[in-house]
């Protein structure tokens, strides 16, 4: 599961079922809160799945593992956090949404270049997907994480400017069964092969 503003194309070289957030790519999902979207996704994925999730997708994966544990055998979370709003000031989050609504594609392109190391283009309905992003900003699953029994592998860039590194340290300390792997880089690794290598070791 990818992060906001992108699509399953970021995981095109990985095996498995590609899931897309509502109003991203070719997604058929419609829920605009993470809690409802977790339920929607849990209804279509097989039991004992390995969920590979990035950024907003990581918080979503934590919700799925907490509420629908039979669906998840292992979580692999890339650049993820249990509470995005704890990492940024409220004025910064408001400013992000304001610029997104005012500048639309221009700001989206700026964000994509900050979050992803390669040129990226795919469909997104900015207006509707912004509602999901707002809910992400309000979501705090830190109280859920200690009760998640599913093993978690955290993969995080040491220079992540979207979800700062301290987020994965907090997540690691909250989780009962977690392994932390770092890479030199930002929100998404330049060398995607590291994702596949970690996945093979699960």
Give the pLDDT confidence of 136-185 residue by residue, as tens digits: 999 999 999 999 999 999 999 999 999 999 999 999 999 999 999 999 99
Tell me if the pTM is above 0.75. yes
> Which CATH class for the 8-200 domain?
alpha beta
Scored b (16 or more CB within 10 A) or e, 125-158 reads ebeebbebbebbbebebeeebeebebbbbbbbbe
């Amino acid at each position: 599961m990818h992060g906001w503003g992108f699509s399953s194309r970021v995981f095109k070289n990985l095996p498995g079922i590609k899931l897309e957030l509502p109003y991203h790519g070719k997604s058929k999902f419609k829920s605009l809160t993470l809690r409802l979207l977790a339920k929607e996704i849990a209804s279509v994925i097989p039991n004992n799945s390995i969920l590979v999730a990035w950024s907003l997708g990581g918080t979503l994966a934590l919700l799925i593992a907490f509420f629908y544990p039979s669906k998840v055998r292992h979580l692999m979370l890339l650049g993820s956090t249990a509470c995005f709003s704890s990492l940024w000031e409220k004025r910064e989050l408001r400013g992000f949404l304001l610029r997104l609504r005012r500048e639309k594609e221009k700001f989206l392109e700026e964000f994509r270049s900050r979050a992803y190391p390669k040129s990226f283009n795919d469909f997104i309905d900015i207006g509707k997907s912004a509602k999901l992003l707002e809910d992400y900003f309000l979501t705090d699953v830190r109280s859920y994480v200690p009760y998640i029994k599913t093993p978690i592998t955290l993969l995080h860039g040491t220079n992540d400017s979207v979800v700062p590194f301290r987020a994965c340290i907090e997540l690691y300390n909250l989780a009962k069964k977690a392994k932390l792997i770092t890479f030199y880089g930002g929100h998404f690794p330049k060398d995607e092969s590291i994702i596949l290598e970690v996945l093979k070791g699960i």
